[in-house]
Amino acid sequence: MKKIFAPRMSAVALLAAAGIALIPALTQAEDGARIAGQICSGCHGVHGRSESPMFPKLNAQTPEYIEAQLKGFHEHARGETAARDYMWGMAALLDEAAVKSLADYYSHQAATRGAAGDPTLMAKGQEIFEHGVPDKGVPACASCHGAQAQGAGTFPRLAGQHQEYLLRQIEVFQNGTRGNAPVMTAVAHTLSADQAKAVAAFLQSR
């Protein structure tokens, strides 16, 4: 079945459609819930519970990670297509107070578990997540992202995230268009396609 996608709207158009005055309202905003509900929810879902694998879940994400990514969008350190199309314009309209407010809001939203997949694939992914790939020098994912993939500081929560989104991020780390996480760039270049798929399947199920 052919999928039909709505035309992309620019950041400015989205803000205008939401009835928000462009620069004054956002640069002075300190209400993360208001910004999230009026602007971010269009892609990331209500309370950050994205239902589309095109857009990451933000609920229960670490505030440090959200702040770091918005900075990366603003400074164009994240240059993948989705970042350019959706987030560069948005990030440019947020001042430090608005960024911190959004990060705090999403970090306090309840976590949601994703869908489980093939048991064999998930078991393989769990092994890599917990123990890494020693013969390739790949560290355990849990050593940075937490034993439950809950995230820690600027290392993001991965539990429950869309499998397709995780795989797309590994791809942009590999091709260099996402350049704000050198540890993941190194890991992405070491993982095979099958290993990446296994880890992503495991993480989505958490």
Residue among 67, 12, 23, 18 at smallest CA distance from 39 = 18
Residue 35: alpha-carbon gap to chain centroid? 18
Query: How many CB atoms within 10 Å of residue 1?
Result: 3
47 labeled binding residue:
no
Largest interatomic CA distance in the chain: 55
90 labeled binding residue:
no
43 labeled binding residue:
yes
40 labeled binding residue:
yes
145 labeled binding residue:
yes
189 labeled binding residue:
no
Residue among 75, 48, 43 at smallest CA distance from 59 = 48
144 labeled binding residue:
yes
Classified as helix, coil or strand, 193 is helix
122 labeled binding residue:
no
Residue positions in the annotated binding site? 40, 43-44, 87, 141, 144-145, 184
Per the annotation, binding residues for heme c are 40, 43-44, 87, 141, 144-145, 184
